[in-house]
Chains A and B, each alone.
Chain A
């Protein structure tokens, strides 16, 4: 079942289309990375998912139900939108207590458990006003778990954490998804932050979903290609087609990029040389997600 599914979700502010006809599907237990540059519309999308702002058009289903019946569904969701806010004059414990009370969570141990998980036990009675950015971020993340949610919606939650902190949070989120079957939607503008944990990555560019990448599949196949540099591109292309039946290729300036028969690079090389061409470069390359993402966001792909 899809935990999140949107249909033609669109948001306009005045004349600007901020989210453009989005059809998202996030499956149970999945970690869905929502990638996009600043201003791509990630926060706006997540706000709509949480009923914080109304879509201009389109519909949203959470747990298979329309979010018009929001209150019932929100009980099952934990969320963190942009920088977490806290009551600065209260301690970490008191801040969590307020949320626990409002959700009607009456397990007194829960808060201590969460503080433990977030590595904040020793700061339990410290005023949040005196917390560092990273500590607040952790506190914000554990706060989303106070109501034992089935779905987490996290908007750039690892912004402002140091590399160790990022690693910890990443491992923690992955464990939540594998052990508790929690579904997690996490946004970021930095691929490397989510690449290692996401099962699927949706790339948002100027409000539109450009591509959805199944991370495992991407790593396994589609991403390899052969780059060749020869003295006569025109002749080389003819040989590729006629002698080797290679049609899946692209010519970029003086280079040929071949997307098929990746494992036959030595045959390609030999054939070209036998035909008297000078091969100055032959290289099996892996397209990394990073450059793919850059391509998309620079408008080269969609």
Chain B
């Protein structure tokens, strides 16, 4: 297993995709920084650090996570199709389940790096902008928000893996992500937000639910659980698909 993970990481060497994703994960704090800098200046007071960090995480949870993290996940599973590698890889006596798990672990590692990158750049931009209340408590608080969204994003990546394996290529998983995204935009503004698995990172990773509490049906544990359930079901489906279907 360690060997599989090691080789997966080696395959990322010189890959543009990961570089692109790093740039994408810097985009979120960067774009938000402009919003906060300007909003602060107009009233003469500086923006709040924690608020900026949470807004940035909302941006990540709503857009970056689903689209960019999804794209990266697709890349990890798709490249053996583009490079025409599965027919070679599967003649090596390795277990398909181990291969699946090691690729998921690599996705987890990569998403953690991307999350931490966003977080660190958030702090750097806050310092540059001179935002208010950059203290230890807020730094740790915001880290917890980021990590919560990160963790719940992991099971949500697994349906994308399934789509990638079945349809072999970038088109289907991207279409899937876009549909998920569109529904998210609609659901987010409704009281049913807790019922949509893909809004879990938002509910867990931001304090947006404060605005919802009176109107929202259910609570964030609903979609946290549904996200995990979807992850598990997709994982099992991936295992069955890999072991039953001939991938060559």
Chains A and B bind each other: yes
> A-side interface residues toward B, CB under 8 Å?
47, 50-54, 70-72, 74-75, 77, 79-90, 94, 97-99, 101-104, 127, 143
A-B contact pairs, 16 of them (CB 8 A): A47-B87, A53-B246, A71-B93, A71-B95, A74-B91, A77-B91, A81-B88, A83-B84, A85-B83, A85-B84, A85-B85, A86-B85, A89-B11, A97-B10, A102-B94, A104-B3
Count of inter-chain pairs, beta carbons less than 8 A: 74
Determine if B79 is an interface residue (Cβ-Cβ < 8 Å).
yes
> B-side interface residues toward A, CB under 8 Å?
3-4, 6-7, 10-11, 13-15, 79, 83-85, 87-95, 246, 248
Interface of B is mostly: loop
Using CB atoms, name the residue of chain A closest to B246: A53
Residue from A85, A87, A98 within 8 A of B87 (CB atoms): A85
| A53–B87 alpha-carbon span in the complex (Å) | 10
| A101–B6 alpha-carbon span in the complex (Å) | 9
| A53–B248 alpha-carbon span in the complex (Å) | 8
| A84–B91 alpha-carbon span in the complex (Å) | 13
Residue from A47, A83, A98, A104 within 8 A of B11 (CB atoms): A98
Q: How far is the CB of A137 from chain B (nearest CB, A)?
A: 14
Since A75-B93, A99-B88 are in contact, a sample of 5 more A-B pairs with Cβ atoms closer than 8 Å, ordered by chain A residue number, is: A50-B91, A74-B93, A85-B87, A86-B83, A88-B83
Using CB atoms, name the residue of chain B closest to A52: B248
Cβ-defined contact, A85 with B88, below 8 A: yes
| A residues less than 8 Å from B10 (CB atoms) | 90, 94, 97-98
Given A52-B248, A53-B246: A89 and B3 within 8 A (CB)? no
Cβ-defined contact, B92 with A99, below 8 A: yes
| B residues less than 8 Å from A102 (CB atoms) | 3-4, 7, 89, 92, 94
Q: How far is the CB of A111 from chain B (nearest CB, A)?
A: 13
Given A85-B83, A87-B79: A52 and B93 within 8 A (CB)? no
